[in-house]
Structure 1
Amino acid sequence: MLKDHARILSAINAAGHIAGRKKLQKMIFISKKLQYPFHEKFEFHFYGPYSEELTLKIEELRNLGLIEELKDKENGYLQYDYSLTDAGHEFLTLYKDSLDERLALCLKELNGKPARFLELVSTVLFFDHLTKPEVIQKIQELKAKQNYTAEEMEEAFIYVSQLMENNKPLSMNS
């Protein structure tokens, strides 16, 4: 099993379970932007940052029986819920490299946020090389259907600042 697969398992384990593919993608992207050791490549997609690599790894973990993907139809939409199976928990007991405690806490906190908010936060982080007004313009252009308010955007910028301040990794374990 590859290290990156084990980290994804550890991330899901730390969160307990993650409701939604989009939410899982955003949680891993945000963690990566906070300099935690996730190596999947992300591109900007309809719902913000998206990684085909992460999608494939999740499928592999599911096919290996290490994670469970429950499907639930909610409000006419198919919702996926991810959690570790007994085999996934057993694998993690054999995995020597443990998850950074601060990353585990960060993932739990992110998991408590709505997917819509994480989509906005991850979009702000995706365009972190731009000025704040430029990021706001990008959000208004690329995420027009989401109708994010000025208050929601400001909340996302504040949250990103807090995340950056509270999650400075002590070391870079790859």
Structure 2
Amino acid sequence: MLKDHAKLMSAFLASGEITGRKKLQKMIYIAKKLSFPFQEKFQFHFYGPYSEELTLRVEELCNMGFISELKEKKGGYFQYRYTVTEEGQGFLKMYETEMPFLKDCLDDMNEQPSRFLELVSTVLYFDNLSREEVEEKIFTLKSKQKYTVEEIDAAYEYIEGLKQKILN
């Protein structure tokens, strides 16, 4: 059980700080689709792939004092910032998790807007379909986001760029 917590903690540590629950969900999903060994199960939800397991695991890590969750009021909504605590760093020393290239990929993802990561994760969620079918799904399921063909092209390019980071 704690090995999965340690893998998630490694992602937080590699990222330094993750701002936003949606961004966190998308970053872990994308990393999982890139073959990093995250075990959380995802299903398609309002904002793309979502894992209740991930939400619960983060809550557990916060309750154990390994992750700090800072809730900030931003206009009409709350935003959450996550960082690893000193206790969390101590915990990670007991569970060495080797995930080469994870930091490079997460750093890159962490610089992207949540809206773009939502698109990237949606493209990856439907990766068993043809590109035309994926576009159709996006235009149908994500119609409120008003994604363009150019943005979808950028998502595919971004995915290829992340894959190259792992191969190099």
Common fold: TM-score over 0.5: yes
- Contact preservation (8 Å) 1:69, 1:81: yes
Specify the alignment match of 1:131 in structure 2: 130
- Deviant stretches of 4+, over 3 Å: none
Q: Could you tell me how far apart the structure 2 residues matched to 1:15 and 1:101 are?
A: 14
Number of the residue aligned with 1:122: 121
Corresponding position of 2:5? 5
Scaled by the length of structure 2, what TM-score is found? 0.95
| Structure 2 Cα separation of the partners of residues 31 and 155 of structure 1 | 18
Please state if 1:152 is matched with 2:124: no
One-letter identity of the residue aligned with 1:60: E
User: Does the 8 Å CA contact 1:35/1:168 hold for their aligned counterparts?
Assistant: no
The answer to whether the Cα contact below 8 Å between 2:6 and 2:97 also exists between their aligned partners in 1 is no
Distance in 1 (CA, whole Å) between partners of 2:56 and 2:43 is 15
1:63 partner letter: N
- For 1:68, the equivalent position in structure 2 comes to 68
1:26-45 pair list within 5 angstroms: 26-45=26-45
1:151: Cα distance to partner? 1.5
**SS of residue paired to 2:82:** strand
Q: Residues 34 and 168 of structure 1 are in contact (CA less than 8 Å); yes or no, is this contact kept in structure 2? A: no
1:105 is matched with 104
Distance (whole Å) between structure 2 residues aligned to residue 84 and residue 69 of structure 1: 9
TM-score normalised according to structure 1 size: 0.92
Separation in structure 1 between the aligned mates of residue 32 and residue 147 of structure 2, nearest angstrom: 24
Q: Is the 8 A contact 1:19 1:79 kept in 2?
A: yes
1:167 aligned counterpart, secondary structure: helix
Where do 5+ consecutive residues of structure 1 fail to align?
170-174
Give the gaps of 5 or more residues in structure 2. Answer: none
Q: 1:43-91, CA deviations, whole angstroms, 9 ceiling, x for partnerless residues? A: 0000000001001100000011110110111131110110011111111
Count of residues in Structure 1 that have an aligned counterpart in Structure 2: 168
CA RMSD of aligned residues (A): 1.4
Structure 2 CA distance, aligned partners of 1:117 and 1:99?
Answer: 28
In the aligned structure 1, how far is the partner of 2:123 from the partner of 2:166? 17
Aligned to 1:142: 141
State the shift of 1:168 in Å: 4.5
Aligned to 1:162: 161
- The alignment-based identity, stated in percent, is 57
